[in-house]
A and B are shown apart, each in its own frame.
Chain A
Amino acid sequence: MTAAEKSISNSIEKLEELVSWLTQWLSDHEVSGSIAYKLRFAMEEITTNAVYYGFPTGTSGTVTVRIHEEVRHEKYRLDILDDGEAFNPLEEAPEADPTLELDDRELGGLGVFLVKNLSEDCSYKRENGWNHLTIVIDAESA
């Protein structure tokens, strides 16, 4: 079982470090194609939301991502943690509606909806002051 972890401070400039870290890990472990896309997408959406909206203005905090390979080239688990305000994106993020016409659409709001749809399983818990989201992505997801 392979696992890795990376933490950043809650600043927008640091988000790219997470993307570089994950894409390097995926490349090192020969994970490519659709499953690599979904892992990056899930991580980027959740960490971006956490850094943009999860912390009261002016406060510093941490966002941590862990990746576990559960079945080689088949199944991966992302754990995404932040010590911002308690927020369950799976329940509290505005729900996007894929049936809406263009004129009725807001520009945002698709991220969490897509993460739910691209993953096999998502769950949230609040623990010791941390938001902890677990996302399982496998070769069959979506």
Chain B
Amino acid sequence: MALGIEKHVSNGVTTLKLTGDLDTATAGQLESTVKEIIAGERPGIVFDMGGISYVSSFGLRVIVYTSKAMRAHGDRFAMHSIQQDVMEILNISGLNRLLKVVETQDDAIALID
């Protein structure tokens, strides 16, 4: 399945509503989108993962890349609404404790505002 990326900007935070598969074939699209946002002024990024049913290790790589890159921008990066199977991958990788993973969009915004 393809990856859908819907972009909403509100109060200086860009929310990417993601749908479909974040896999070997599609991870590059998300990385390009993230790079564009980071090139802007005082970037803040939220991944809405509610529509993502599959993440491969290439997908994890983009998530780790985003998190590391956002270190230089006050760590203004959070993710929410992660499906159970995807969460299991994050847990086994030990990424759950390194990323700002929350339940809702409001929680994500509150964390990075």
Q: How many inter-chain contacts with C-beta < 8 Å in the A-B complex?
A: 60
Q: Is the CB of B85 within 8 A of A101?
A: no
CB within 8 Å of A: which B32-91 residues: 54, 56-58, 60-61, 64-65, 67-68, 71, 84-85, 88-89
Report how many residues on chain B are interfacial, defined by Cβ distance under 8 Å.
22
Residue of B nearest to A45 (CB): B57
Our pick among A98, A103, A108 for the contact of B57 (Cβ within 8 Å) is A108
- Assess the A110–B54 pair: CB atoms within 8 A: no
Tell yes or no: B93 within 8 A of A by CB.
yes
Please report which residues of chain A, range 90-142, place their CB below 8 angstroms from some CB of chain B when the two chains form the complex: 96-103, 105, 107-108, 110-111, 113-114, 117-118, 142
CA–CA, A108 and B64, complex, Å: 9
Contact partner of A33 (CB less than 8 A), chosen from B23, B71, B85, is B85
Once the chains bind, are A102 and B93 in contact (CB under 8 Å)? no
Question: Which residues does chain B contribute within 8 Å of A105, judged by CB atoms?
Answer: 64, 68
A41 adjacent to chain B (CB < 8 Å) = yes
Is B98 among interface residues, defined by CB-CB distance under 8 A?
yes
B13-25 CB contact bits vs A (8 Å, 1 = yes)?
0000000000111
A102 close to B98 (CB less than 8 A): yes
User: B92 at interface (Cβ–Cβ under 8 A)?
Assistant: yes
Bound-state Cα–Cα, A34 to B88, Å: 9
Interface of A, helix, strand, loop or mixed by DSSP: helix
Contact status of A114 and B57, CB under 8 A, knowing A98-B92, A100-B94, A103-B68: yes
Question: Within the assembled complex, what's the spacing in Å between the Cα atoms of A33 and B88?
Answer: 12
Which B residues touch A34, using CB under 8 A? 84-85, 88
| B55 to A: closest C-beta gap in Å | 9
A113 to B61, CA, bound (A): 14
Instruction: Give the CA-CA distance A98 to B94 in the complex, in Å.
Output: 5
B94 near A114 with CB under 8 A, answer no
- B54 & A40 in contact (Cβ 8 Å cutoff): yes
Nearest A-chain residue to B24, judged by Cβ: A48
Q: Say whether A98 contacts B93, CB under 8 Å.
A: yes
- Known pairs A33-B85, A102-B68; A107 contacts B61 (CB<8 A): yes
Q: Are the C-beta atoms of B65 and A107 separated by less than 8 Å? A: yes
18 A-B residue pairs with Cβ-Cβ distance under 8 Å, sorted by A, are A15-B25, A16-B25, A19-B23, A34-B84, A34-B85, A44-B24, A45-B56, A48-B56, A96-B93, A98-B93, A98-B94, A102-B64, A102-B67, A103-B71, A111-B56, A113-B93, A114-B93, A142-B92
